[in-house]
Amino acid sequence: MATGTTPPGPDGLPLIGNTHQWARDPCAFRERAADYGRVVGFEIMGWDAYMLTEPGDIEAVLTDEHGRFEKHDESTEQLEEFVGQGLLNSEGELWERQREAIQPAFFMEQIKRYGDIMVDRAEAAVDRLSRGVSVDVQEQMLRTTLEILVECMFGEDIDLEARGLYDAVEAVQEPLQPANQPVTFLVPDWVPVPMRRRAQRAQAHIEREIDDILRERRWSDSDRNDLLAMLLNSDAPMSDQQIRDEMLTFLFAGHETTALTLTYVWDLLSRTPDAEARLHEELDDVLAGRPTVEDVFAFEYTEAVVREAMRLYPAAHEIRRQPVEDVEIGGYTLPEGSLVVLPTWVLHRDERFWDEPEQFRPERWLGDADRPAFAYFPFGGGPRRCIGQQFAMTEAQLVVATMADRVTFEREYDDLELSAAVTLQPKTTVQMRPRFR
């Protein structure tokens, strides 16, 4: 294996390489490609791609060697119009300064204050259900996580509906939905398709609303504990533009990912009565009334349910990087400017690390397991790991506990079809019928 040679990989076509195979089913394509070995070469959308399949190599890219990689150009360009230069999208000194300034807002001490909001909104989600009337569970979870996030960001006095924020957030994300991917990726940006115009108008609306809130708050000296207050009172002063980008980043990175995880939890529980029964047992045992953040520390099975759902269906189904210089891995050169794919989906279902990887078995998370750290990385790793990891884990467990304590869901569809868009999305409408316990 000589350094500099092209790694093995699936055959492609002239000009388009493997783009057609990728576009048809990215999850199946990456699983097949993984059989070629430690470093797999292919070509998508004009990029020379290098997919890594060894946890140790993935760990190196995200941790020890992270300085030799940046976020990939294609992802950052796509994100730029939604979140500007927020934490998810920035690099170098700006990123370092912002990460340090924002980190305290996500310490566990701070997240504990958000517990009540999380439980309140989950209770509201149950209150919206009527016995036997089926609902789109994904839609319900999107609404719930958006309500939680906005209240944690801005406090309770922001009326999402009155400010038109529900509709705007939905419209902004419309081009990213699986059914709209062909238009989003194949029709050039300058073509004014109505969906794009709606998304642009909605984006402008959200930005105006955030600016309004920011202006009001700059002039009031209220003693608040929300995320915005943490940023306004940070030791490193931030411009309004920077705060707005960070708020947009939290909205973009922090509500759909958690909503998807919760949606998958309800789907998987409805297919696995033993797991559901065990979850109920733990809730009956631990909860003394309404769930609290303290209960989260006592949960074992509830946490395992969330972890296992994220193993099978990681909302961030892959992480992309771009080497800023040539990097050697496994005897191959990953050239500067190429696309490096860290395929979360593939590692999470790799038989070397998981018995019966297709099975939903929360039990596998109870007790110690002997597997490499980066066989599982739903929140990434290293300095750029998800800043909202504790927030999301606390939120997911509190929403599952609050809702599962009162209600179960019965599927009205058979198979759950998936689409690996920007995030891993159900193609199927996740229509379910609630039953109160």
Cα torsion 41, 91, 260, 166: sign: negative
**196 vs 317, beta carbon nearer ligand HEM:** 317
Q: Which of 253, 279, 341, 421 binds ligand HEM (CB under 6 A)?
A: 253
Q: How far is the CB of 13 from ligand HEM (least distance, A)?
A: 29
As a whole number of angstroms, the distance between CA 106 and CA 100 comes to 11
Q: Any contact of residue 261 with ligand HEM (CB under 6 A)?
A: yes
Q: Which of 18, 138, 173, 258 binds ligand HEM (CB under 6 A)?
A: 258
Q: Which residues pair with 327 in a beta bridge?
A: 334
Q: Any contact of residue 388 with ligand HEM (CB under 6 A)?
A: yes
**21 vs 423, beta carbon nearer ligand HEM:** 423
String marking each residue 286-325 x if it binds ligand HEM according to CB under 6 A: -----------------------------xx--x------
Residue type, 437: R
**88 vs 293, beta carbon nearer ligand HEM:** 88
As a whole number of angstroms, the distance between CA 195 and CA 174 comes to 7
Q: Which of 29, 154, 250, 299 binds ligand HEM (CB under 6 A)?
A: 250
Other C-beta atoms within 10 Å of 190: how many? 6
Q: How far is the CB of 10 from ligand HEM (least distance, A)?
A: 24
Cα torsion 420, 424, 425, 427: sign: positive
The token pair that represents 214 in the structure block: 């920011």
String marking each residue 392-411 x if it binds ligand HEM according to CB under 6 A: x-------------------
* CA nearest neighbour of 277 among 310, 301, 241: 301
- Binding window for ligand HEM (CB under 6 A); candidates: 119-127, 130-138, 194-202, 386-394: 386-394
As a whole number of angstroms, the distance between CA 341 and CA 339 comes to 6
426 phi, psi to nearest 5 deg? -70, 135
Q: Any contact of residue 69 with ligand HEM (CB under 6 A)?
A: no
Q: Which of 150, 329, 387, 418 binds ligand HEM (CB under 6 A)?
A: 387
As a whole number of angstroms, the distance between CA 152 and CA 135 comes to 26
Q: Which of 172, 231, 386, 403 binds ligand HEM (CB under 6 A)?
A: 386
As a whole number of angstroms, the distance between CA 58 and CA 62 comes to 6
Reported residue count of the chain is: 437
The closest residue (CB) to ligand HEM is 388
- Binding window for ligand HEM (CB under 6 A); candidates: 11-19, 45-53, 255-263, 357-365: 255-263
Q: Could you give the angle at the alpha carbon of 420 between the alpha carbons of 415 and 426, nearest 5°?
A: 35
- Residues numbered 359 to 378 that lie near ligand HEM (CB under 6 A) are 378
Q: Any contact of residue 379 with ligand HEM (CB under 6 A)?
A: yes
As a whole number of angstroms, the distance between CA 84 and CA 178 comes to 23
The token pair that represents 330 in the structure block: 């496994």
**230 vs 319, beta carbon nearer ligand HEM:** 319
- C-alpha distances out from residue 179 to 162, 185, 349, 426, 429, Å: 29, 12, 26, 10, 12
Q: Any contact of residue 88 with ligand HEM (CB under 6 A)?
A: yes
**386 vs 432, beta carbon nearer ligand HEM:** 386
Q: Is the distance from CB of 39 to CB of 323 less than 8 angstroms?
A: no
Q: Any contact of residue 84 with ligand HEM (CB under 6 A)?
A: no
Q: How far is the CB of 31 from ligand HEM (least distance, A)?
A: 19
Q: Which residues pair with 64 in a beta bridge?
A: none
* CA nearest neighbour of 268 among 316, 310, 233, 319: 310
**17 vs 374, beta carbon nearer ligand HEM:** 374
Q: Any contact of residue 87 with ligand HEM (CB under 6 A)?
A: yes
* CA nearest neighbour of 419 among 347, 346, 344, 313: 313
Residues in contact with ligand HEM by CB under 6 A are 71, 87-88, 99, 249-250, 253-254, 257-258, 261, 315-316, 319, 378-380, 384, 386-388, 391-392
